[in-house]
């Protein structure tokens, strides 16, 4: 089988050297604190802020410097995109479970995929996967016949198949010389195997390992309206649209629109975005986006001390994640509602174990069902959902600091740097003798100048959530002492999670942060200085349009930042800076 590793390597080099790919340096980033981002692991930020301090806040500041697009680049497919692309090309096949996991950068796996290449181990995994999935299809006479449509002993049949399959797998029409090379490879392998079907299988396996499949290549073309500018081509736009809105490759309708030249026009993009956002695949892709945006991944493997929390089960974390995803899906697609309702809604979805945690009537069966939280209850909105509370807490105790940081970083795009080296961050043994609440232990942050510079932005916010323990269950006491969930945030006195959610809802930074994060996810890179104006306009339009997420996704597709490319020879800019609090 190692022979086919060499064969695949030859085809990979052929794709890089003679195909349409062009290697472009990805932008480097340097860590810096300030308004801007969260950092990838919750321990502090790793992005430069987006605008200098004298430029003020998004949506309130001057437009910023003239638009300058980010450099075109190579985007490695994320794991989900790869799986969806293989199945789009071959049909319903089983993919190996050991594929290399994604590496999120600046909050998103799409950014990591644009800045990282394929490791030697991943190359071996892709080779094994390609041989596996092609074996599933070509070892089944009916499946291979349905895929190919004719007998591969016929040279014309083979060329026609490569044209059709190549368009679907490589997401663009193949050039005649590319079809010539594939047909020549098939003929050579037929001579070796004495079996045109086996030869076709291994040629297809090599195609699934080519850069044209594993990467999205973006180079762009001169804009006919202004040759000094560059735009993404129709077929590059087809892939940008599809992997943003579906996490999947373009379908035939989208490739047909690209063939007709419609994806470089406002009308064509708007029509395709509307069609795609109405497709069930958009819900799946949006669910994955919000999973990263709200840092829900840890819920898949949530574990708490079961002696302290007898409610904990092997499935509770996944139920918590499913609740948040169902609420988001309901707001975004079923109601097309103001997305700020996520912070205050009393509508939710529960199964039996969540209902028990929330003290709601238990539904029948295991599926999530719609439920309404009591109007006079303490819960309402994202910040009182058990998933957010549990994942931003410790194994046995709460963490107002982590909860406050989640709100600042994920919801308001305010970066809090990590603690200085050598600083002890746990509260064990803090204070005098006798029981203490977490609030009492945190008082040291307010009086210690080493801590207060950062903790003043996190602790007061998180203390408003102290009525919920480390698993997200309601409580009124801690260590036998009454809990105080009052806080002063932005000069406003609040008490409890619902008041905090209402306050965050009215903060303009919530909408601006949402626009910025989705733009980053869609483009696959950290925003650069020349994109400040684009990001600010998207935030303003999102707010003025009633905070509709589907409208925001459409606006991103139509934005010049999503459609424009810098010439490959341009120098790479460092990420931009965003000022203000």
Rounded Cα gap, residues 185 and 439, in angstroms: 70
Three-state secondary structure along 261-325?
CHHHCHHHHHHHHHHHHCCHHHHHHHHHHHHHHCCCHHHHHCCCCCCCCCCCCCCHHHHHHHHHH
Mean per-residue pLDDT, 169-195: 97
Q: Would you state the pLDDT for residue 48? A: 40
Q: pTM for this structure?
A: 0.87
Q: Would you state the pLDDT for residue 443? A: 79
Backbone angles phi, psi at 558, to 5 degrees: -85, -10
pLDDT band for position 350 (cuts 50, 70, 90): very high
Three-state secondary structure along 130-159?
HHHHHHHHHCCHHHHHHHHCCCCCCHHHHH
Q: Would you state the pLDDT for residue 66? A: 87
Exposed / middle / buried, residue 316 (Cβ in 10 Å: 0-12, 13-18, 19+): buried
Residue 385 has pLDDT above 90, yes or no: yes
Percent of the chain with pLDDT strictly greater than 70:
82
pLDDT tens for each residue of 91-103: 999 999 999 999 9
Residue 3 has pLDDT above 70, yes or no: no
In this structure, the strands spanning 481-482 and 477-478 are antiparallel
pLDDT tens for each residue of 237-248: 999 999 999 999
Q: Would you state the pLDDT for residue 65? A: 79
Q: Are 439 and 485 in contact (CB under 8 A)?
A: no
pLDDT band for position 452 (cuts 50, 70, 90): low
pLDDT tens for each residue of 457-509: 888 899 999 999 999 999 999 999 999 999 988 789 999 999 999 999 999 99
Q: Would you state the pLDDT for residue 159? A: 97
Percent of the chain with pLDDT strictly greater than 90:
75
Question: Given 3-state DSSP classes, what are the helix, strand and coil percentages for the chain, each rounded to the nearest 5?
Answer: 50, 10, 40
Dihedral sign for Cα atoms in the order 71, 76, 78, 80: positive
Residue 53 has pLDDT above 60, yes or no: no
pLDDT band for position 430 (cuts 50, 70, 90): low
Residue 251 has pLDDT above 90, yes or no: yes
Three-state secondary structure along 406-427?
HHHHHHCCEECCCCCCCCCCCC
Tokens for 220, please give them: 């762009």
pLDDT band for position 296 (cuts 50, 70, 90): very high
Q: Would you state the pLDDT for residue 429? A: 54
Rounded Cα gap, residues 100 and 7, in angstroms: 22
């Amino acid at each position: 089988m190692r022979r086919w590793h060499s064969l695949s390597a030859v085809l990979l080099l052929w794709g890089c050297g003679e195909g349409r790919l062009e290697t472009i340096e990805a932008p480097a980033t340097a860590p810096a604190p300030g308004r801007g981002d969260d950092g990838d692991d919750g321990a502090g930020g790793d992005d430069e802020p987006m605008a200098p301090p004298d430029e003020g806040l998004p949506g309130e500041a001057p437009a910023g410097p003239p638009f300058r697009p980010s450099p075109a680049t190579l985007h490695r497919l994320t794991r989900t995109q790869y799986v969806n692309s293989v199945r789009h090309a071959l049909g319903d096949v089983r993919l190996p479970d050991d594929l290399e996991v994604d590496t999120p950068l600046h909050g998103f796996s799409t950014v990591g995929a644009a800045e990282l290449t394929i490791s030697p181990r991943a190359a071996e995994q892709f080779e094994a996967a390609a041989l596996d999935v092609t074996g599933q299809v070509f070892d089944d006479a009916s499946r291979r016949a349905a895929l190919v449509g004719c007998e591969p002993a016929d040279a014309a049949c083979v060329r026609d198949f490569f044209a059709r399959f190549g368009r679907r797998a490589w997401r663009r029409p193949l050039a005649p010389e590319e079809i010539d090379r594939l047909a020549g490879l098939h003929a050579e392998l037929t001579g070796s195997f004495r079996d045109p079907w086996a030869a076709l299988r291994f040629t297809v396996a090599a195609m699934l390992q080519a850069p044209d499949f594993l990467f999205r290549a973006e180079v762009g073309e001169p804009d006919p309206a202004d040759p000094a500018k560059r735009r993404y081509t129709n077929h590059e736009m087809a892939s940008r649209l599809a992997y943003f809105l579906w996490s999947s490759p373009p379908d035939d309708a989208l490739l047909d629109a690209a063939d007709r030249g419609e994806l470089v026009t406002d009308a064509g993009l708007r029509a395709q975005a509307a069609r795609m956002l109405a497709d069930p695949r958009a819900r799946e892709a949006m669910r994955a986006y919000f999973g990263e945006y709200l840092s829900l991944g840890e819920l898949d493997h949530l574990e708490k001390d079961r002696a302290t929390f007898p409610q904990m089960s092997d499935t509770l974390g996944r139920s918590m994640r499913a609740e948040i995803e169902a609420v988001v899906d309901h707001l975004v697609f079923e109601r097309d509602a103001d997305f700020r309702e996520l912070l205050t809604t009393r509508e939710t979805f529960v199964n039996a174990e969540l209902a028990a945690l929330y003290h709601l009537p238990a539904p029948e069966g295991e599926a999530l069902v719609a439920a309404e939280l009591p109007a006079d209850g303490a819960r309402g909105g994202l910040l009182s959902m058990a998933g957010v509370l549990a994942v931003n807490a410790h194994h046995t105790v709460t963490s107002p600091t982590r909860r406050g940081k989640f709100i600042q970083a994920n919801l308001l795009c305010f970066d809090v740097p990590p603690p200085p080296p050598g600083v002890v961050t746990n509260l064990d043994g803090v204070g005098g003798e006798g029981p203490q609440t977490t609030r009492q232990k945190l008082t040291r942050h307010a009086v210690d100048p080493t801590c207060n510079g950062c903790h003043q932005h996190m602790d007061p916010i998180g203390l408003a959530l102290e009525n919920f323990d480390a698993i997200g269950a309601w409580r009124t006491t801690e260590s036998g002492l009454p809990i105080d969930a009052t806080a002063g945030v932005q000069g406003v006195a609040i008490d409890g999670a619902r008041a905090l959610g209402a306050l965050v809802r009215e903060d303009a930074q919530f909408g601006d942060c949402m626009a910025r994060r989705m733009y980053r996810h869609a483009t696959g890179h950290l925003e650069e200085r020349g994109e400040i104006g684009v990001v600010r306009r998207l935030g303003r339009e999102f707010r003025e349009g009633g905070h509709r997420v589907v409208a925001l996704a459409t606006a991103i597709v139509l934005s010049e930042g999503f459609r424009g490319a810098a010439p490959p020879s341009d120098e790479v800019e460092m990420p931009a800076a965003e000022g203000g609090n």
